[in-house]
Structure formats: C-alpha cells, structure tokens
Structure 1
Amino acid sequence: MDTQRGLFGWSRGMTYTGYLELTVEKKYNRSVISNSFFDGVLKITRPTYLPEGLPLLTLIHVGGGYVDGDSYKTEVVVGEGAKLALTTQASTKIYKSLQFGVRQEMDYFLQAGSELLVKQDPLIAYKDAQFSQVTNVYMEQTSIFYYTDIITPGWSEDGKLFQYKNISSKLKLFIDGELQVFDHQLLMPGENLQKLMQLEGYTHIGTLFMIHPQVDENLIEKIRVELRSVNHSRFGISALSAKGLSMRALAFSTPEIEEVFSVCEEVIRHHLENKEKIEWRKW
C-alpha cells in the first residue's frame, strides 16, 4: 500500500485535464470507499450498493468530450477482500486532436481476494481524432478482474466511417508482479480497417477480459454454446496463459456488442459465483 500511495502522491503533482484516485477497503464485512480524490473534469457518483453488497460507482466526465492536448489519469486500489464495480456515465467522445492527441492512463491495484469489475461505455472517435490509452492492472492470484470496452467510429458530415487518425489501446496485466497479459489494439484507418484480419467489414469492436482463479475450458465452452443464438456478430474467445479468458467481438452497432457481453457476464457470474448479472443502471 505504501508504494501505491506513493504513486498517488506523484500523480497529484502532475497536471491532468481529469484526475481520479480511489481506494476501496473491506471494513466490518462491507466494501467501503475509504479514500477518494478527483480533480479537473472527472467526478464520481456516490456508491450504489447492489443486493450482494457490491458498491457500484459511476465515473462522470463533466467536460462533454476529449479534445486535443487532454490527458487523464485514474488510479484505483481495491484492498484485501474488498469489491468494486466501476462504470461510466456515457460514451467517451474523442474530437479533432491533430497536434497533441488525447492520452489516458488507468492503473488498477487489486490486493489478495479482491474483486474489480470495470464496464466502460463506448469510445467514439470523430474525424481527425488521435487517442492513446494504457490500462495497467496489478493483481494477486486470488483476486478477480473483469473488464470490457467498445470502440466505435464517430459521425461525420459526409457519412463516411473511420475518419479518425488512430486509436491505440494497451492493456497490461501483472499477476504477482509478473506480466501475464499484454493486449494492444492499434486502429489506423489509413491502413484500411475493413480488410482481412482487421474489422473485415464490421464497424464496432468490443473487448472483454475475465481473470478469475476458477476460469477453465468448461466455462469458455458454456459461453460459446450460449452465444450460438447471437448471429449478428462475430466473436473469438480463448483461454489465457493466466487463469482467465479474453474475447474480441465485431458487430455493426454498440447494442449488438453489448448483447454479446451481457450473455458472457450472465454465464460467468452464474457459473463462477452463482450470482445474477449486474444491473449497470445509470440512474
């Protein structure tokens, strides 16, 4: 914890368009927000406690969208045995940013036996947008991490898709101090995103990661079976070298990918913890 608080102190000294730090701890058999600090255009709601006692927080961007030169930093610590669900209020809109681009970094620290569930609304990149995101996850073998994101092309006056310059999204996942997962999505419309081995005619791309000590091939096969009825999207799901799974989904709209993720979450929560899927409501 001392190292993590050292990171907090160092980050506060830097200048960000939006900055958030958050610590969740388990006290009296309940997960509570023990520390929170936000600055700039990032805010958070008061936690809503789900029936299972899981606190749900919503991240709010009060600026309306990301513009050239913006930088954002989020640091979340989930203490031993604590749980947290984190979502966003609305889609992330990236506007024209030709000179400096937009940068975002998220650091998640999960201590032993903790659980962090992150569900992000779509990232929408408009004409001439440049966006770079790095997500770092530092966790223990006994902790649980669930993560989803969706990338979509923004509207343009001439109706053409994929007019942003580039999107780079990296996820680095460290378990017990060792890098176990490194995922890098690099989308560059100038390289023809519609071709084979890229989006192949689809417009929206979704990513899901689930790290859990009990993930196995049986769970992955259950997800594949349940997704057979979803015929408007393409997806690939596989086991990781660590105890977990990853999925990539392609579709023509955000609701289509959200349907795929909803099926996955329902199977995962029922199979691993015998719980209902989370109601990620925004009110």
Structure 2
Amino acid sequence: MVVQQHRLRGGTVAVAAAVVGVTALTGSLSGCSGGRADARTGEADPTRTVRDASVVLAHAGTSKTRTSMEMATGGTRVTIRGEGTYDFRQRVGRLKVVLPTDASGAEEHRPITELLAPGALYMKNRGAGVPADKWVRIDTTTLTDGNLVTGGATDPAAAAELLRGAREVRYVGQLDLAGVRVRHYRGTTDIARAARAASPQVRGALAAAAKGFANDAVPFDAYLDDEGRLRKVRHRFSYLNQGRTVAVASTTLLFGFGTPVEVRLPDAEDIYAGRIEA
C-alpha cells in the first residue's frame, strides 16, 4: 500500500516529540456493523462497517491493548511498544510505553507510564529534566498531530474514531488473529471528516490533527471480529521532519474485552510545571 505523505503546517515537529530521545536515536542509528450487503461477497457494506467500529467498542466497554509505533527515516527503523488497558466509554486508559534501545544495545530510558484521557496525555518517567515522581500533562488538542504520533502510542479511542472518516474501503477476506476469526478491511480515512464525526471526547484532538497535517488521507488496515469489535487497526502516517521524510506505522491491538480498567489522574501538585529540556 502506498503511504501518503503529510507536511505539518506551521513548521516541523520532532518524531514522537513527547517520547524523549526517539528522534535523536533515529539519527544516531542512521549515522454495530450493518448496512447494505455487498452483492459480490455477501458482507455488510464495508465502509459503514468500518465507520461504526468506534461505536461498537463503546458498547463493548473495556479491553486490554497492545500498541506499536514503527518509525523509519534514512533507512533506519525503530519501534516503540506499549501495553495496558482502555475504557472506551470513559475514554481513559493506562499504558506502559517501552522505548527502543540505543546503538550499543543498552536501555536508554525507563518505561514511560502514560495515562490517556479526553484532551490530555499524562506521562511519568518522561526524562528531559522532569523529576521521576512527577507527571507531565500535555493538552492533545494543541498538538499538531492530535497525539496520533506524539505519545509513541496512538490513543486507542483516537485510532478507532479515526476510522469514522473511512472511504474507499474494500473487504479483503477472513483470517485468524490470535485464535479469533476476523474480517480484514483496507482503505483510506480522512482526518478532517473523522474529526467532524468523532465523539466529543476525541473531537478536539482529531480536529487539531486535521489542521496539522497538510494531507488528511491516511491508509489503514482494520480487522473486526464477528461482533463488529475492532481487534486490530494499522494506520500509516508520513510527514517531513527537519527536511527528512519520516514514515510511521501505528498498530493497535485490542483483546480481553471486559477487563477492569482503573485510571486515577494525577493531582495538580503531582504535575510538573517547570521547564522541560528539548
């Protein structure tokens, strides 16, 4: 699939800027469902099915999640991985994000704890001069990518809601995904259209992304189970950063539906208000 290129308006943004050192590392290494049935396949209308994925997840409630974000530039590829739980009704979640190793193979950073909430991303063990016992709060509605890339893990709700702008969707076929039968759909989603159709909790972040990317088209592969629940989605972003093209593939896996999710947002005194090193 061809990856669409996006140029961020108003200047460049460091790759996964909220995840300390990833851009530097890269440079160093370079050194529910429904609708009309398809007459050919008998499947429900693929575009409507994919657009409804976030609504089905809200009904499902909660799940476990694994994420990965692959970044490639100058022939070098790095991967950031996350794991945790998410509540699709409250739009809150908790992830442990593991950064890649440095060129010598030693771990550069401790795992980062991320709390996801409507319009906000909280990060602990961020580094960059932030005390270990403090959180950093980022307003995702001010990010030029709406936190689709910045946090090193796309918010699961945003990943699903981004499909509300799906177009040119085709049904690929069925396959087995970790023991679950899923239907595979492929297409392109429009960030601006998704923002307009998104739930209020996610709309601000996606609206910011729609303004930040010069090209709204994002290719995707989505995998839904027999109940219409999104089990896996892979989005492909690409943009220019400091004169280099950076390709990003963000993958979100969802499983363990019904898992209890407990997220307690930090108190004001636990949020770092000082200067964060570049």
Q: The TM-score by the shorter chain falls in which range?
A: under 0.3
Normalising by the residue count of structure 2, what TM-score does the alignment of the two structures yield? 0.24
Where relative contact order (Cα < 8 A, 6+ residues apart) is larger, the structure is 2
Q: In proportion to residue count, which structure has more helix?
A: 2
Normalising by the residue count of structure 1, what TM-score does the alignment of the two structures yield? 0.23
Q: In proportion to residue count, which structure has more strand?
A: 1
